[in-house]
Amino acid sequence: MNTRLYLSLICIALLSLYVHAQPQRKLVKVIVSPDQTDWTYAIGDRPEFSISVLRNNMPMEGIQISYTIQPDPGYRTLKIWDKGTVSLKNGSAKVKAGKMDEPGFLRCTATVTVDGKEYSSYTTVGFAPHKIEPTTTLPKDFEEFWNQGKKALAEIPINPIMTLLPERCTDKVDVYHVELNNIKGKIYGILCRPKKEGKHPAILRVPGAGIRPYYGEVSDAEAGFLSFTIGIHGIPVNMEKKVYDNLMQGALNSYWTTNLDDKDNAYYKRVYLGCVRAVDFIESLESFNGEDIGVTGGSQGGALSIITAGLDDRIDYLAAFYPALSDLTGFLHGRAGGWPQIFVDEYTNKPEKIETSKYFDVVNFARFVKVPGWYSWGYNDNVCPPASMYAAYNLIDAKKELHVFQETQHWTFPEQRELRNAWLYRQLND
């Protein structure tokens, strides 16, 4: 290959990376703002929304805005309370919402068409969210079911296989691919261990939904912690990405509903017990200080953080972003249920599936959490609707702190992650 062609290919590759790294911003911005700065109201209040439209960061005038107001629908469909059109005057338009007569969330969505292209945005406000109660219920044999599962797991040798990954190691951290025995198969993960001699606190990082490779958290280990990042699907976590993509499109498609009518064989039973097995592994490490373990994750990982703390009293701290799998039966009671928002059609709305879901709902593990926790989410999350998360959070009878970043959807600001890390590191170091 001649030098000119080689340099041209390098430039094209760099340009491609630059283009894909650009933020996904739109020319026209629709902004929906409530009249309470914390987006939170008392039952019986009538919030007023101000709607503005910006182009090139300048207010637009005289444009027709279509709006809808409804209970927070997640990404499914719930009944619309009100809809209509208003015109922008002096840069904004106002819409008055109706009252909510019970704790919950209300969403105002605004849509405009500019030069033939549609733009929209929404804002979700809360009504007495700390009074939200769950719609799911606790099975009488819930504790017995999970105690039996842990007993069966304890009878299976861990048999850890740790494979050093030299290409991922640094001058301060050793990185290993780890294989462990779990019920009905294996659990795999990436261990990042400080090279510095001594005994260290540990962080278990549990994953969000999906199927992907994992790389571990070297930064945790550089800060002096054992850091164990696990996958949940019983397959190695250091293969090429295309392997996981093929599984997601094939054998593991919609894995979260697999055997939903059979609690003994439901997909998440092996996953939840796999988190306990990950704690077993941490406890077995000579470099573990024997005392301090924190668990953290977001979405499905936020759920697994609460679940692991509820199942395993060896967990000392938990930090959860927007926990999924919370109050799954919400849709059966007129409000949004937690991801994966399953109870919305004839296939899933069957008594045996509803009953099975109770053994895997975060709400019912939240009842047993007794350790300090740090939590964070947004009101605009349409994947893990806020009512579902509050339904679990409100039941936790332990020291806890909630950091609401109202405008966030199913993502976090860097500041949220900085707060989480600072809190978790501080707890483990005290």
Report phi then psi at 318, rounded to 5: -135, 150
Grade residue 232 by pLDDT with cuts at 50, 70 and 90: very high
End-of-domain residue from the set 101, 131, 161: 131
Q: What is the CATH number of the domain that holds 278?
A: 3.40.50.1820
Q: Are residues 199 and 175 in the same domain?
A: yes
Q: Of 312, 327, 381, 388, which is the active-site residue?
A: 381
Residue 33 lies in a domain: yes
Q: Is the pLDDT of residue 333 over 80?
A: yes
pLDDT digits (tens, 9 = 90+) for 67-118: 999 999 887 777 889 999 999 988 899 999 999 999 999 999 999 999 999 9
Q: Are residues 228 and 104 in the same domain?
A: no
In whole angstroms, give the CA distance from residue 349 to residue 332: 8
End-of-domain residue from the set 104, 131, 158: 131
Range of the domain at 102: 28-131
Question: Within a 13 Å sphere around the CA of 216, how many CA atoms are in the beta-carbon half?
Answer: 29
Q: Are residues 153 and 276 in the same domain?
A: yes
Residue 385 lies in a domain: yes
pLDDT at 346: 63
Q: Are residues 127 and 274 in the same domain?
A: no
User: Domains in the chain: how many in total?
Assistant: 2
pLDDT at 18: 35
pLDDT at 73: 87
Q: What is the CATH number of the domain that holds 118?
A: 2.60.40.1930
32, β-bridge pairs: 51
Q: Are residues 170 and 267 in the same domain?
A: yes
Q: Answer yes or no: 66 catalytic.
A: no
In whole angstroms, give the CA distance from residue 102 to residue 194: 51
Residue 118's CB is within 10 A of a number of other CB atoms, namely 11
Residue 5 lies in a domain: no
End-of-domain residue from the set 131, 156, 185: 131
Q: Are residues 68 and 47 in the same domain?
A: yes
pLDDT at 77: 74
In whole angstroms, give the CA distance from residue 430 to residue 426: 6
Residue 197 lies in a domain: yes
pLDDT at 347: 61
Q: Are residues 424 and 291 in the same domain?
A: yes
In whole angstroms, give the CA distance from residue 120 to residue 109: 7
Residue 6 lies in a domain: no
Q: Answer yes or no: 233 catalytic.
A: no
Q: Residue for token digits 């020319």?
A: 27
Residue 2 lies in a domain: no
pLDDT digits (tens, 9 = 90+) for 338-397: 999 999 876 678 999 999 999 999 999 999 999 999 999 999 999 999 999 999 999 999
Q: Are residues 147 and 233 in the same domain?
A: yes
Q: Are residues 119 and 148 in the same domain?
A: no
Q: Of 52, 227, 299, 326, which is the active-site residue?
A: 299
Residue 104 lies in a domain: yes
Q: Is the pLDDT of residue 313 over 60?
A: yes
Q: Are residues 102 and 210 in the same domain?
A: no
Q: Are residues 302 and 344 in the same domain?
A: yes
Q: Answer yes or no: 45 catalytic.
A: no
Q: Are residues 259 and 121 in the same domain?
A: no
